[in-house]
Structure 1
């Protein structure tokens, strides 16, 4: 239940249940259920929709809102902050939409069937990632990032198509109300409002106004999500929350409990709080319910045979399976060949082919567009059959592509390296603790990072726990997003030339937000260094080269952010609080003893 594969399994089960209900004597009750009207009115005004419409136009707004939130986070603090990483997925994503649409129109170029070209442009992100977990490489973190970036572009275009191509008439007054509500979200974000209630109220207003305007409500969901701000936690807010918790611990009263909870909540951005709240609801309730409401096709009485002879069915299959595979693969490999950008480290051509094949799973977005594109029940039925066939064929094709790439190209795990590329060298590295210590903890750090081990105090707790059993090693990884980090790293190395690396290390973290050149000179003076020599060393190319070598070794070891820890020679994944690091180091220390014990018993 907690995995992406689990949510994909629930989605498949919902679709199969819909098919069973629609193709058995239960079909009458199934159709009556979803056609049942449900009206919500106040003083004569409100919404009067069928249950199916409430799911498609109401609950699915939550799905598209979540998609918008994820896109905004990736653009603000995630993988898409480095725009260079988006170029190859951008080209691949465009290819994965244009080629499928053209292939569909090649079989359905006129009449009502031609309106279904939008069915084949979208990819079901949740279903795709679930199938990747089931049939993809054992470790596919880098391929997952590539596919997520690609589907971000896919989702934005698909929702735009829904709003532009499948909207007949627009009520301008309601559209203005929706725009005002969305503008209100921008104002809240600019005013740094952190409580979620005001955002929720404006999203609901935008949704209602969009429904009245004639546009599909997915537009309101996606745009609202894109406007919700996503930021990294601020060290000052975390410290304030810690202080407030200490006050509550000393005096556990209801009023202090409310203030403590509010202070803790404020440290996490509204965007990420919404995501944490909505992921489970969306994956396990909203999307499966949508599948159950829309995947039901009565296949009795030769209907399946008729669908299998329909150009709409095969247009959908051809577009999703062949079009996505060819468009994404050609776009990605062509962009890399033309040096537009690079694939993520660890991702090869075979991985791209397998991921492109799995992108042929259109499901959720495809089913939504089917009911917008076609008024004719037969065309809807044929398109749904095509979508369901595509899920099966795309999954099998993806599995085959991954297996062949592993066997013939040696492209197995699509992940970052997990082992330390350069062993610890006491003559070069900055080491605290005995050279022959029982366990080793290596940290790649950034002096402008407010959450590295020294800044948070976790390093101190780990070292106090292990004492002389621990060898603690630090290396430089100044991040591009921190403008003063590289100069600070050189400053620490310059202090090291005067046998003062660790005092400067501590000083820099104590003032991680004050790292201008004059600040660094002041710290050198406070530590009793030869300031003139220190300033000359800041210009030394050898020290800059040493920092660059550390940064290169971080990349070769799979470190992409700070702090990144290595327990022994293996990269630590997961939280980096003191308790977690201590547990990982103790497990590393226990492993050799366990191995010796097993050999002794044999």
Structure 2
């Protein structure tokens, strides 16, 4: 029973992310086709179309592409933040022993690709792209594991999910520290004070989605105007959402039984409406349900499909349209560098540190995970699509040439890493 309670949410998560990965792939292909078709100009001009409002004292008027990258992606980061908080409090990362296996893998998958990047880079103008090969795309990588079916154990999917979340957390810190500029300390200070107020309200036991959304929009705007990338507001807002339940399962069940019995005893109207007593019981049911649900779990559940099936595919559709014509001005060295970092940097970094830690008994690897599977998953970690493109857009914001080169390097590296990882796992002995 306990095993089912723990594994069912993970299985559902994997299923959603796997389906999202397929949709992500279709969105990427469609973007590439449109960008290299007679509709290329219309495709590009769509994302350059400005939306917003301007007054004498305030301006918020941005291209559609930035509304997606700065606005919708903040919701993506909110979900990432909820997942990180849940995993650290009650999930696969809630103890030192549990966190050591994916944490060390994630550290290897962050540090080694960055070292590869610095060693291979010989252009000072592209040095700031070092953060691109850090993160793993959960949706794409889990989609491939889904295709493999029963050939891979659930524990391997949990490992991939856990270290990908740690990777994302590392990428978030890198964005905050290295890819934010011209910081307005007063605006940032106001945003942080509002966050503290939100944390305090949550700590005192009061939580409201309305307050979260209202203050969240203000905090997001303050981050945007302060020079800190506004998607980071999503992560910080997530930490204010409580995970606790106000009532226990037995208490909820007792009240549910009482409400059900009262509804059964009540007179039944022949008209398609409820009687006053029934309305009262339904209201009570709603109140007890709100108390029983964890706000964090409830919000995560509501956001997951929106992020998986709309926000991430839309992000891919908006950002993957690279023109692949022969006359395109590209930085070949950057393409090769990123490709090598994703394929070799990730695979060597993750598998090497895991094998060393396993040898010196620093971690316990689940018995159903073989060394070959660890190597296979370490290659899948080289699928760095969503976060890699996001960081590339920040690192080379003023250089379309380097952005396009980085995107091509990410696409090529991710495809090669996916193929190698899939074949290793597919033909496991």
Fold in common (TM above 0.5): yes
The equivalent of 1:368 in structure 2 is 390
**Structure of greater Rg:** 1
Which residue of the partner structure matches residue 261 of structure 1?
286
Question: For 1:289-300, what aligned pairs fall within 5 Å after superposition?
Answer: 289-300=314-325
Tell me how far 1:79 sits from its aligned partner: 1.6
The 1:37/1:141 distance shift into structure 2, 3 A limit, reads: same
Q: Deviations over 1:504-541 (max 9, x none)?
A: xxxxxxxxxxxxxxxxxxxxxxxxxxxxxxxxxxxxxx
Distance 1:120 1:64 in 2: 18
Q: How many angstroms does 1:168 deviate by?
A: 1.6
Secondary structure in 2 aligned to 1:39?
strand
Structure 2 residue corresponding to 1:382, chosen from 399, 402, 405: 405
Structure 1 CA distance, aligned partners of 2:58 and 2:279?
41
- Mark the CA change 1:227 to 1:352 in structure 2 (over 3 Å): closer, same or farther: farther
Deviates more, 1:138-147 or 1:31-40: 138-147
Residue by residue over 1:540-588, the C-alpha shift from the partner in whole angstroms, topping out at 9 and shown as x without a partner, is xxxxxxxxxxxxxxxxxxxxxxxxxxxxxxxxxxxxxxxxxxxxxxxxx
Counterpart of 1:403 in structure 2 is: 426
Q: 1:233-312 to 2 correspondence within 5 Å?
A: 234-235=248-249, 237-239=251-253, 241-242=255-256, 243-251=258-266, 253-303=278-328, 307=330, 310-312=332-334
Shift of the 199–236 alpha-carbon distance from structure 1 to 2, 3 Å rule, reads farther
The secondary structure found in structure 1 opposite 2:33 is helix
2:221 match: 208
**How much does 1:240 deviate?**
5.5
Task: Give distance in 2, aligned partners of 1:86 and 1:343.
Answer: 11
Residue 345 of structure 1: how far off its partner (Å): 3.6
Contact kept in structure 2, 1:194 and 1:266, CA below 8 Å: no
Distance in 1, Cα, partners of 2:345 & 2:149: 20
Structure 2 residues without counterparts, runs of 5 or longer: 1-11, 267-273
The whole-number CA distance in structure 1 between the counterparts of 2:409 and 2:149 is: 24
Gaps of 5+ in 1: 408-602
Residue matched to 2:356: 334
- Verify the 8 A CA contact 2:187 2:225 in the aligned structure 1: yes
Match of 1:27 in 2: 40
- Matched with 2:106 is 93
> In the alignment, what sits opposite 1:565?
none
Equivalent position SS for 1:120: coil
Higher alpha-carbon deviation: 174-183 or 224-233 = 224-233
CA distance in 2, matches of 1:311, 1:393: 17
8 Å CA contact 1:163–1:219 kept in 2: the answer is: yes
CA contact under 8 A between 1:77 and 1:231: conserved in structure 2?
Answer: no
Please list the CA deviations of residues 285-324 of structure 1 after superposition, one character each: whole Å capped at 9, or x if unmatched: 0000001111111112343xx65x7110011111111101
Root-mean-square deviation (Å): 2.1
Change over 3 Å in CA distance of 1:250–1:47 after alignment to 2: farther
- Residue 41 of structure 1: how far off its partner (Å): 5.1
Deviation at 1:109, TM superposition (A): 4.0
Separation in 1 of the partners of 2:200 and 2:218? 15
Pick closer, same or farther for the CA change 1:131–1:181 going to 2, 3 Å: farther
Please state whether the residue corresponding to 1:299 is helix, strand or coil: coil
Whether the 8 Å CA contact 2:183–2:227 is kept in 1: the answer is: yes
Using the alignment, how far apart are the partners of 2:265 and 2:411 within structure 1? 59
- Matches of 2:109 and 2:34, distance apart in 1: 33
Partner of 2:77: 64
Residue 391 (1) aligns with residue 404 (2): no
For 2:264 and 2:77, locate their aligned partners in 1 and report how far apart those are by CA, in whole Å: 40
Q: Give the Å deviation of 1:264.
A: 1.0
Aligned equivalents of 1:182, 1:10: Cα separation in 2: 34
Q: Deviations over 1:409-463 (max 9, x none)?
A: xxxxxxxxxxxxxxxxxxxxxxxxxxxxxxxxxxxxxxxxxxxxxxxxxxxxxxx
